[in-house]
Amino acid sequence: MFNLKATNGQTILTSEGYTTRAACLNGIESVKKNSVVDARFEKKVAANGKPFFNLKAANGQIIGSSQMYVNEKNMLNGVASVMKNAPDAPIVDMTIE
The Cα 97–Cα 86 span in angstroms is 26
Q: What does the pLDDT look like over 27-60, one tens digit per residue?
A: 999 999 999 999 999 999 999 999 999 999 999 9
Average pLDDT for 69-92: 95
What backbone torsions phi and psi does residue 91 show, to the nearest 5 degrees? -100, 120
Domain ranges of the chain: 3-85
Starting at the edge strand found earlier in the chain, the sheet holding 62-65 runs 3-5, 11-14, 62-65, 51-56, 41-45
Q: What is the CATH number of domain 3-85?
A: 2.30.29.80
Query: Across residues 71-80, what is the average pLDDT?
Result: 97
Q: What is the mean pLDDT of residues 62-87?
A: 96
